[in-house]
């Protein structure tokens, strides 16, 4: 299968490419790939573990090998010889120039960017370029995954985002203030019947206009924002308090991270999308809103080693208050990369089974799953397995 990464030179995308190529070459161990659990036996018939990668990018880097090497030098997130084993394949991956329209000051801080809109192209011209790049790569077994940096909240307009006609009018009339990179990439994928997974909190395919397009084109899509670390633990642990009828009074989550993702999120407009995405889950699990603090701070020396400190204050029998603490300390790209492959594989499976529109059952993979309030990891997992078995 083919995976087109938006943000192809990021640490999540490049780590997925390294892992995907190693698995394909020598059946390398598959720890971390949910889709390889025995529950999903037979998936390979629809989405084999054999990959071609491409993508859009806005940072000027020679090829995916150079990009991976830069991340490796900062993080040493796997053994060096693994990178050399797939060097040749990575060198062949040269991302196409993408758009960073309305991606905020955080993305501008990534350094010297090469983007389509910096050449004064209209929205129609940008879309045309993105589409051309994607179609040169894509075949029937292609999925687009958005793993680009997090955008600020969309300047939402019912007129331009509320319907497909309005969206296409926005493009035609070049209304740039209501566009954003992630919705343009999602539009191009769905318009061409290519499944789309949004691993980021950016809007992607979640606006009504693009949901309409996905249904019209009978194309599956899923998002938003990969659930990989602190929120994974939170939505796995939070139900425990509910099952035991314990009342959670307050929950503090304090996240520190470095690397490019941390740098982008150190800009308040980019951070806002992420905090909202992480913060909404407790209300969905409990039906009430405990006092909550969710903070994400840039801590450069940690690079990709994201650390989260959580403090939970809860009340039990006779109104007695008690406390629970946890620390999550993980290499962000290592927990995230395999999930992007899982999402792509399940989306391709969905397409081949004639399933289209938002695939709610893939909510297991996301912090803010589209069109469902189920954020409980346990029932999400059961839902995913049942969905797979029912349609297999």
Ligand X SMILES: NC(=O)c1ccc[n+]([C@@H]2O[C@H](COP(=O)([O-])OP(=O)(O)OC[C@H]3O[C@@H](n4cnc5c(N)ncnc54)[C@H](O)[C@@H]3O)[C@@H](O)[C@H]2O)c1
Residues making contact with ligand X (CB under 6 A): 6-7, 9-12, 56-59, 98-100, 103, 107, 110, 147-150, 181, 199-200, 225-226, 228-229, 260-261, 332-333, 335-336
Nearer to ligand X by Cβ, of 47 and 180: the residue is 180
Nearer to ligand X by Cβ, of 121 and 246: the residue is 121
d(CA 53, CA 43): 20
For 29, the token pair is 């161990």
Count of Cβ atoms closer than 10 Å to residue 166 Cβ: 19
Ranked by CB distance to ligand X, the top (closest) residue is 10
All residues at 6 or more sequence positions from 140 whose CB lies less than 8 Å from its CB, including other chains: none
Nearer to ligand X by Cβ, of 13 and 219: the residue is 13
State the minimum distance, in angstroms, from the CB of residue 51 to ligand X: 18
Report CA-CA distances (Å) from 330 to 238, 257, 333. 20, 10, 9
* Sequence-ordered alpha helix ranges (H) in the chain: 11-26, 64-75, 80-85, 87-91, 104-108, 123-137, 158-161, 164-172, 181-191, 208-216, 230-243, 259-265, 268-279, 281-286, 332-352, 377-391
331 and 71 Cβ atoms separated by less than 8 Å: no
Nearer to ligand X by Cβ, of 7 and 241: the residue is 7
State the minimum distance, in angstroms, from the CB of residue 200 to ligand X: 4
State the minimum distance, in angstroms, from the CB of residue 181 to ligand X: 4
Nearer to ligand X by Cβ, of 96 and 355: the residue is 96
State the minimum distance, in angstroms, from the CB of residue 78 to ligand X: 15
282 and 276 Cβ atoms separated by less than 8 Å: no
d(CA 35, CA 339): 9
State the minimum distance, in angstroms, from the CB of residue 265 to ligand X: 7
State the minimum distance, in angstroms, from the CB of residue 248 to ligand X: 24
All residues at 6 or more sequence positions from 322 whose CB lies less than 8 Å from its CB, including other chains: 313, 314, 315, 316
State the minimum distance, in angstroms, from the CB of residue 382 to ligand X: 22
State the minimum distance, in angstroms, from the CB of residue 188 to ligand X: 12
Nearer to ligand X by Cβ, of 95 and 355: the residue is 95
Nearer to ligand X by Cβ, of 298 and 324: the residue is 298
* Backbone torsions φ then ψ of 366, nearest 5 degrees: -125, 150
All residues at 6 or more sequence positions from 120 whose CB lies less than 8 Å from its CB, including other chains: none
Nearer to ligand X by Cβ, of 142 and 180: the residue is 180
Report CA-CA distances (Å) from 48 to 1, 4, 74, 235, 339. 7, 16, 32, 30, 15
């Amino acid at each position: 299968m083919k995976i087109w990464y938006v943000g192809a030179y990021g640490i999540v995308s490049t780590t997925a490419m390294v892992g995907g190529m190693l698995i394909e070459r020598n059946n390398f161990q598959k720890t971390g790939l949910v889709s390889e659990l025995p529950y999903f036996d037979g998936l390979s018939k629809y989405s084999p573990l054999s990959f071609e990668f491409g993508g859009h990018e806005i940072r000027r880097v020679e090829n995916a090998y150079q990009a991976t090497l830069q991340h490796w030098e900062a993080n040493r997130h796997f053994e060096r010889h693994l990178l050399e084993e797939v060097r040749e394949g990575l060198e062949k991956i040269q991302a196409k120039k993408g758009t960073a329209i309305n991606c905020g000051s955080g993305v501008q801080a990534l350094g010297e960017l090469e983007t389509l809109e910096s050449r004064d192209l209209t929205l129609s011209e940008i879309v045309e370029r993105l589409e051309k790049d994607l179609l040169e790569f894509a075949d029937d077994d292609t999925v687009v995954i958005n793993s680009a940096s997090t955008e600020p909240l969309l300047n939402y307009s019912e007129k331009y985002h509320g319907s497909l006609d309005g969206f296409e009018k926005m493009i035609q009339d070049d209304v740039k203030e209501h566009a954003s990179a992630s919705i343009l990439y999602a539009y191009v994928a769905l318009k061409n019947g290519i499944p789309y997974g949004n691993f980021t909190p950016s809007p992607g395919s979640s606006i009504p206009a693009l949901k309409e397009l996905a249904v019209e084109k009978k194309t599956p899509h899923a998002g938003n924002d990969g659930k990989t670390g602190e929120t994974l633990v939170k939505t796995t642990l939070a139900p425990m308090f509910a099952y035991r009828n314990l009342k959670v009074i307050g929950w503090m989550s304090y996240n520190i991270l470095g690397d490019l993702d941390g740098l982008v999120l150190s800009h308040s407009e980019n951070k806002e999308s992420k905090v909202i995405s992480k913060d909404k889950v407790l209300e969905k699990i409990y039906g009430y809103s405990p006092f909550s603090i969710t903070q994400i701070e840039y801590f450069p020396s940690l690079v990709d080693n994201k650390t989260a400190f959580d403090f939970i204050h809860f009340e039990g029998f006779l109104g007695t208050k008690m406390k629970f603490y946890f620390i999550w300390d993980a290499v962000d790209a290592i927990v995230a990369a395999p999930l992007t492959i899982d999402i792509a594989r399940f989306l391709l499976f969905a397409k081949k089974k004639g399933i289209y529109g938002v695939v709610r059952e893939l909510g297991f993979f996301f912090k803010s799953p589209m069109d469902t309030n189920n954020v409980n990891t346990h029932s999400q997992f059961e839902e995913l397995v049942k969905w797979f078995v029912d349609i297999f």
